[in-house]
Structure formats: C-alpha cells, structure tokens
Amino acid sequence: MDYAGFWIRVLAYIIDFIPLVIIGVVLAFVSGQPLMDADPAAPVYGWGDLMNLVIGIAYFVGFESSAYQATPGKMALGLIVVDTEGRRISPLRALGRYLAKIPSAMILLIGFIMVAFTERKQGLHDYIASTLVVKGKPGEVGYNPDVFA
C-alpha cells in the first residue's frame, strides 16, 4: 500500500481550495451576501460560515464517498480515500472524516501535521474516521491481509 504523504496531500488541498473559493464567491454574489463583514461587532459565526460548512460537506463528502473516492485535487494527483481495509468509504464515514478535521485544525493544525510522522500517513481525522489516503485508482485498492495486518 502506497500511503499519501503530507506534502502531496497539502498540494491536493490547494488544488481543491480553488473551486471551493469560486463556489463560495458565486454563491455569496447570487445571494447578495457580502464576502466580508465590515462590522467588527458582528457575530463570530454567521450565514457565510454556515454556507462554507455546507459547501465543504457537499464537496468533500460527495466526492470522497463517490465512485471517484477522491476530490478533484486528490484525483489530479492519483490519490484516493479508503477505509483501513482498502474499501470505498460510505457517505457517513466521509462525513465523520470531514467533521473530524475540526479538532485536527483546532489543536494548532497538529492533527494534520501528524500525517508527516505516522506509519500509515494518517492525520487525526483519518484515525477518528478509520480512513487512509493512498496512491491508487478507484476500485483498485482492496483488502490485503499482508498490507493491513
């Protein structure tokens, strides 16, 4: 099993960030919402934050649990997301993985940095959701007792 390391996963996220920003800007424009709130006394969380959460869930959960097993950024780099036995992940597991990125980020991004130092290149969110990011094509990675022992 060829696990995806830290830097290739960072690059995949940078590639994914571009369409996410475009989608967010278009939706903000269409809805008439400002991109930034000029009022410093505004609530910490608002409509834009909720919109970004929904977009992120739809994007990451939708792609990673689909037959592609990857977001466009991961696809561009030949990566897929699988469970710890090499199978395609369910939408519920993909949602758990996405939401588990919150604590990964909250602890000074250490949950993401873990990818560089763990044996199977897992971040905290991967451990929580029992997932792996590997180099491969959708449907080609599967359970191998020698690899997953």
Q: Please say if the pLDDT value at position 51 is more than 80.
A: yes
Is 108 a member of any domain? Answer: yes
Is 77 a member of any domain? Answer: yes
**Distance from chain centroid for Cα 148:** 22
Structure-block tokens of residue 23? 């989608």
Please state, for a pLDDT cut of 90, what percent of the chain lies above it.
72
pTM of the model: 0.86
C-alpha to C-alpha distance for 115 and 9, rounded to whole angstroms: 9
Of residues 19, 52, 141, the one with CA closest to residue 89: 141
Residue pLDDT, tens place only, 20-34: 999 988 888 888 776
C-alpha to C-alpha distance for 10 and 82, rounded to whole angstroms: 18
- How many structural domains does the chain have? 1
Residue pLDDT, tens place only, 72-121: 999 999 999 999 999 999 999 999 999 999 999 999 999 999 999 999 99
Is 45 a member of any domain? Answer: yes
C-alpha to C-alpha distance for 81 and 89, rounded to whole angstroms: 7
The parent domain of residue 135 ranges over: 6-148
